[in-house]
A and B are shown apart, each in its own frame.
Chain A
């Protein structure tokens, strides 16, 4: 037992906690994990849509139009969640100057922007039959649109700066500033009490939805979680290769020598 180290289990003493903070190690880990998340996403999506379209009953007021909920709500949740995760990674990268954290933030942005776009479009397609309009300057819709601009701003800001490290810093500042928009979106329906209905599913109160409808929506939420993880891991691998292209370990990557195409 080495002196000075408190009596902890063998595992705690010898594990290198920062093993996967290095882009090289994380490249391998992400490569192994991403396919599994992709498969999980596919299976969960099929299950979720089956529940949503074949098991869930017709809605009393909206008839069949409500079935958009199985993609609209999960996508909207993802758009907010991904922004928070992106801001956390950007913040960590900014504070600790760890390259991989900032790479992860850049990897998440496009997927988050896509889900924001999907939430806006599916919401609008849901609003037309039920509210009678494609768009209204409602508190929630407007703050979600601002979220989309924040994502696009983050992506284009980083693309505009050549030096990756400076782009990371600039992006981190924008991401952290934009975090204030997330609670605004979430609570907008309560604070401004506008056209968009309130939360039928919230952490505090019980869900006010039929169980099969709720189950379908939750399964789709996990499907989009798995998809986002797979997409972000795949994109961070590309970013790692792009930024570390001149390193020795990238030079020796087996898979590159396999075929030129």
Chain B
């Protein structure tokens, strides 16, 4: 399935001159999702640490 839109890589990143806006948007989205995943991982680690400490103290 050859793709009809982009002749080469630089054409793809230029995005018809709108590269800044398009790739900026996707970068912000990826960053926001990464932040959420990290916060989830951190929250999970924190509660697990607290629970294991509670258990060791028992």
Considering the chains assembled together, what is the distance between the CA atoms of A113 and B15 in angstroms? 29
Residue contact A256 to B36, C-beta cutoff 8 Å? no
Known contacts A57-B4, A117-B32, A118-B32: A65-B40 contact under CB 8 Å: no
| Chain A residues whose C-beta falls within 8 Å of the C-beta of B28 in the assembled complex | 118, 121-122, 125
Pick the interface stretch among A6-14, A92-100, A159-167, A245-253: A245-253
Closest chain A residue to B37, Cβ basis? A231
Considering the chains assembled together, what is the distance between the CA atoms of A255 and B49 in angstroms? 12
| Chain B residues whose C-beta falls within 8 Å of the C-beta of A156 in the assembled complex | none
Partner of B51, one of A117, A118, A125, A250: A250
The yes or no answer to A68 lying at the interface (CB within 8 A) is yes
Chain A, interface size category, equals: 35 or more
The yes or no answer to B9 lying at the interface (CB within 8 A) is no
Residue contact B18 to A75, C-beta cutoff 8 Å? no
**Dominant secondary structure at the B interface:** helix
| Chain A residues whose C-beta falls within 8 Å of the C-beta of B58 in the assembled complex | 251
Residue contact A111 to B36, C-beta cutoff 8 Å? yes
Considering the chains assembled together, what is the distance between the CA atoms of A251 and B58 in angstroms? 10
Chain B, interface size category, equals: 35 or more
**Dominant secondary structure at the A interface:** helix
Residue contact A75 to B5, C-beta cutoff 8 Å? no
Q: Could you list 26 examples of A-B contacts with CB < 8 Å? A: A54-B3, A57-B4, A63-B17, A65-B16, A65-B21, A68-B21, A68-B25, A71-B25, A71-B29, A117-B32, A118-B29, A118-B32, A121-B25, A122-B25, A122-B28, A122-B29, A125-B24, A129-B18, A129-B21, A235-B40, A238-B47, A241-B48, A242-B47, A245-B54, A251-B58, A256-B51
Residues of A within 8 A of B (CB): 53-55, 57-58, 63-65, 67-68, 71-72, 75, 110-111, 114, 117-118, 121-122, 125-126, 128-129, 227, 231, 234-235, 237-238, 241-242, 245-246, 250-251, 253, 255-257, 260-261
